[in-house]
Structure 1
């Protein structure tokens, strides 16, 4: 690779990760003048240093490898999440461009960490003390936007999610019932997400479509196949097979406690899902496989 081409790519890396040359040098434990020479196109990093740099990027951009350095400039730019993806004009009417661009970058970097089939656990609004299960399909579309479908029995919400910082902000609609659903979920910083939690706002299926807010814990139950049609079939089959009413005593006690503590005793009427006590996490290390 030409030193000048590497320099252009390094500048894109600095921009994408919002880090200075000095900050990068400190993170890699190299002299800042060396990073300056890389950025100016004077030299290309040694094999050891390019490996360190690649590992540093991979910790922040999922799946980044040495092979990504071989991409041409437009592809490399898109790989870092800096290329602007097409976005529905309707979204731009009510979401600021800066947030759309940030969400698009976030999706390109981290959407694959959330893709999969998920089962949500929440309290039943009709049966006190009982819990309901919903099934969701989450995937990133060709435009770099996170799409999802959520279902329980004959109900289907279809929508999109924006990944901002470590939170997923979602909006979806059920066209048949002519209603909408909104959600904010705590995300996972660097790992593949296995558990998420947050709050969902929707309407009850009563005569007045009464609004209600649910605390939700989501568990990944399957990965996607990579075939869009097969993934939708997997989602529908999972919804059909899932009893929406959780059997009594099936929901673990830690989930019960977590959902119960979202209400604020000293401030009646409010709910919260605190980040510092969030259950959102990546894969858990199996003690039997460690060492």
Structure 2
């Protein structure tokens, strides 16, 4: 079963950002919304009840026919992340100039769901001991985090 956050939000008449916070585990649905969510799912998966929410994550995944997450492999060296001839050059530039971009940042970009309007993302760039910079950026409950490196003047 595949459902988008937007579809669930529309069906339950709640804000999409609330559904995103449920998915991320930041907040849990209220008793009222959990009941509505259960009714919504029961229309798609016969036999779903409020008791299903007491199951483990693995049991819920099996109940709704989800697949397991692939094992996470985290490369330890910068060169393991990218197979690119310029990796050594970019890693060296990051080691030299990384502190110049460290700090808190605000971006301005076109708002994807509001034509003609703009939104701001707020982010942080911090040094890491293993080479690349730690980057986190987001707006409201949408967050992206990962690593970055300096390439040229970018």
Give TM-score scaled by structure 2 length: 0.46
Q: Which has the larger radius of gyration?
A: 1
Q: Whose strand fraction is larger, Structure 1's or Structure 2's?
A: 1
Give TM-score scaled by structure 1 length: 0.25
